[in-house]
Amino acid sequence: MEPSLVDESLSDARQKMAKAVQHTQAELASVRTGRASPSLIEKLRVEYYGSDVPLLQLAGFSVPEARVLVVSPYDKGALRSIEKAIQNSDLGITPSNDGQVIRLSFPQLTAERRKELVKVVRSRAEDGKVAVRNLRRATRHDLESFAKGGDISNDDLDRAEKELEKLTQEHVADVERILAQKEQELLEI
């Protein structure tokens, strides 16, 4: 019974930390790099027949050129709503609509804008690391309550805390690796 409590807590922490890393990766993918990518707008909420729907459900995406993203609505009636949602987003791109598809042309990023985006990316990565550390704290609290309740020994607690620390360091390193890739992508000209 004793090891299963520890194993269960560590397994749960591992899964939640992996989800925090995935969320951080998705957050960083949504930051514009000067290259066209569907991940920049696919989660954008669009007013469609009275409800907010992710753009991913309303349109297909293609990237015919490095700096051009084409949005092809499944329902041509949604064209205006999609265009409006893109204009109201924080992308800073004006969509062009030809009645069939919406084209987004991504301008070359200035050096100043690249530095701003690096700051944004670092902030989001730090949020991801904080989430992983918060999960470590919550799991450590659970483990300590097991020890106080007599469910596990102090030796088991020490081993579990070392394993938890190792898990935390691995996941923080994953976030830092993702951040380094994104920074390189942003600073690449």
Q: Is 132 a residue whose pLDDT tops 90? A: yes
What confidence score (pLDDT) does residue 33 get? 67
Sign (positive/negative) of CA torsion 122, 126, 127, 131? Answer: positive
Contact 71, 104 (CB under 8 A): yes
Please indicate, yes or no, whether residues 124 and 181 belong to a single structural domain of this protein: yes
One domain for residues 47 and 8: no
* Residues 80 and 139 grouped into a single domain: no
* Same domain as 170, residue 147: yes
68 and 136: one domain? no
The band of 16, judged by pLDDT with boundaries at 50, 70 and 90, is: very high
* Residue that terminates a domain, selected from 51, 83, 105: 105
Same domain, 170 and 121: yes
Last residue of a domain, one of 90, 105, 120: 105
For residues 2-28, give the mean pLDDT. Answer: 88
Q: How many residues does the chain have?
A: 189
**Same domain flag for 66 and 14:** no
- Could you say which of 74, 105, 136 is where a domain stops? 105
54 phi, psi to nearest 5 deg:
-65, 140
Say yes or no: 123 and 143 in one domain.
yes
- Give 180's DSSP letter: H
| pLDDT above 90 as % of the chain | 39
Domain harbouring 66, CATH code: 3.30.1360.40
CATH code of 8's domain: 1.10.132.20
Q: Which residue has the higher pLDDT, 155 or 42?
A: 155
CA distance 98 to 115: 34
102 has pLDDT over 50: yes
Q: Are residue 47 and residue 68 in the same domain, yes or no?
A: yes
The total number of structural domains in the chain stands at: 2
Please enumerate, as own/partner, the contacts of 182-189 that have beta carbons within 8 Å and a separation of 24 or more.
182/28, 182/31, 182/33, 182/121, 182/125, 183/118, 183/121, 183/122, 185/33, 185/35, 186/31, 186/33, 186/34, 186/109, 186/114, 186/117, 186/118, 186/121, 187/114, 187/118, 188/33
Q: What's the mean pLDDT in 142-165?
A: 90
pLDDT band (50, 70, 90) for residue 166: very high
What φ, ψ does residue 62 adopt, rounded to 5°? -145, 155
Domain that holds residue 123: 2-30+110-187
Q: Is the pLDDT of residue 139 over 80?
A: yes
Whether residue 56 is found in the same domain as residue 82: yes
Confidence of residue 2 (pLDDT cuts 50, 70, 90): very low
List pLDDT tens digits, range 35-76. Answer: 777 877 877 888 888 888 888 888 999 888 878 889 999 988
Whether residues 56 and 95 share a domain: the answer is yes
Do 72 and 25 lie in one domain? The reply is no
